[in-house]
Amino acid sequence: MLTCFLFVQNLDQEIILSMSLDLQGQVVQPLQMRSLEDIRTLQQNARTIIVFPTDWCGIYTVELPLLSEHKAREAIPFALEDQLAQPVSQLHFVFDKAYYQKKHYLVVVIEKQLMRDWMHRLSALDLAYDMITIDWFALSQEEGCVLEHSVIVNTESFSGSLSLDIWASHAHAWSTDLRWHVFANSANVENLPVVSPSSKVHHTWVSERLLNTKLMNLCQGDFQHATSQTQVKRLYQLTGVMAGVCFLGFVTIHVGLSMWVTHKTRLLDQQIATSYRVFFPQAQQVISPQIRIGQLLKQTQMGHNATLWSLMENLSFVLAQRHVTPVKGVTQITNGVTKVQTLQFQHQILTVILVCDGFAALEHIEAALRNRKIKVHQVSAATEKDQVVAKLELSL
């Protein structure tokens, strides 16, 4: 992936100094002033780093134990309050655990209004970016850079940026302990003790250094900036959280329902056991009502069928003795002499309506059934069109 560097200076600028490097640090697009449209083209398939000049910031070290981010963000402003000319409420404090060394935090301090103005300006220009940092992070320990009108320095006694005039009055201004870098656009300083000259302008050198350095992102705390990658990451996180909440809700509901059903079942079991003892006082254990009812239905059904088929068998035998031959039909059997008009079996009683030639035939049928140990109850008997219609109830 390519990395695009934008070196900003003025809020009202419409063209910005920019360049891009590949992963190996080779220049893909050289350093030059570009219009917004050209910069958007430069940003394609690349991450973008906005580089502020160190002049806009102060760099401090704060002795504190390693704290959580929330606690550190509260403690650091109070620890630096005496060293700052402006109220801490107007300043943005930037730190990173990666720069926590020897029980000290490295802190970059910048005005909140400046951060706010630049982030608003970049948004208004529709320029996407992944982070904002400062050129000071291109320096290693005990290094300094001579720029056009200032120096940036990374030493134990001082870290940050100063104008050349002020730096010249510093007690250890041009110490031989520092390795100085000068560039094609650096100010002319005589008698630099240890110099590493470069034919490049300092922006190119800074870009190459920043590419392989752990950077501190100024977009943190109240100034967090959502990049496309972080947006996708947060979307996945939100999706995961929502899925977790839904799963937890699903489990909670089902656990609650299960507990409710178990409670109701226990109450029902107690009621069933009480009723069961009433109907089966000799039972040593309570059998499931479903099993008990099934057993009773099975026993009843078996008895029901046995009675029905016994009565039908005896009735058929008696009718056969009178030369009655059944013909097609479920509810009617006839041969022209005696007719079985309807059959109904209920409560272990077979109710049959017979149509006979006369009362003598009816009496003969009743007598034959009684001889076969069938209980016969004549419900009714009447003449109809020279025939006798009788309703009999048969039981064992």
* Structure-model confidence comparison of residues 196 and 390, the more confident one: 390
259 Cβ contact list (under 8 Å, min separation 6): none
Band of pLDDT at residue 13, cut at 50, 70 and 90: confident
DSSP bridge pairs for 94: 108
CA distance 85 to 374: 121
pLDDT at 347 over 90: no
Q: Which amino acid is at 108?
A: V
- pTM, entire model: 0.59
- pLDDT tens by residue, 26-56: 999 999 999 999 999 999 989 999 999 999 9
| Residue 171: per-residue pLDDT | 65
CA distance 310 to 313: 5
Q: How far is CA 3 from the centre of its chain?
A: 34
CA distance 17 to 8: 7
Q: What is the mean pLDDT of residues 217-245?
A: 80
Q: Which amino acid is at 291?
A: I
Band of pLDDT at residue 279, cut at 50, 70 and 90: low
394, 352 Cβ separation under 8 angstroms: yes
Q: What is the mean pLDDT of residues 190-215?
A: 86
Measured at the alpha carbon of residue 270, what is the angle toward residues 264 and 271, in degrees to the nearest 5? 90
Q: Which amino acid is at 126?
A: D
CA distance 155 to 139: 10
CA distance 61 to 63: 7
pLDDT at 73 over 90: yes
**Locate tokens 């200032």: which residue?**
150
367, 331 Cβ separation under 8 angstroms: no
Is residue 14 helix, strand or coil? coil
| Residue 220: per-residue pLDDT | 92
φ/ψ of 386, rounded to 5, equals 65, 15
| Residue 301: per-residue pLDDT | 59
pLDDT at 183 over 80: yes
| Residue 101: per-residue pLDDT | 92
Determine how many CB atoms are found less than 10 A away from the CB of residue 169: 8
| Residue 288: per-residue pLDDT | 66
- Segment among 114-118, 146-150, 306-310, 353-357 with least mean pLDDT: 306-310
- Segment among 57-66, 111-120, 214-223, 234-243 with least mean pLDDT: 234-243
E-assigned strands of the chain?
2-7, 15-21, 27-35, 46-52, 57-63, 91-94, 104-111, 131-134, 143-146, 150-154, 159-163, 179-182, 195-197, 333-334, 339-346, 349-356, 375-384, 387-395
CA distance 91 to 76: 12
| Residue 14: per-residue pLDDT | 82
- Segment among 151-160, 188-197, 226-235, 353-362 with least mean pLDDT: 226-235
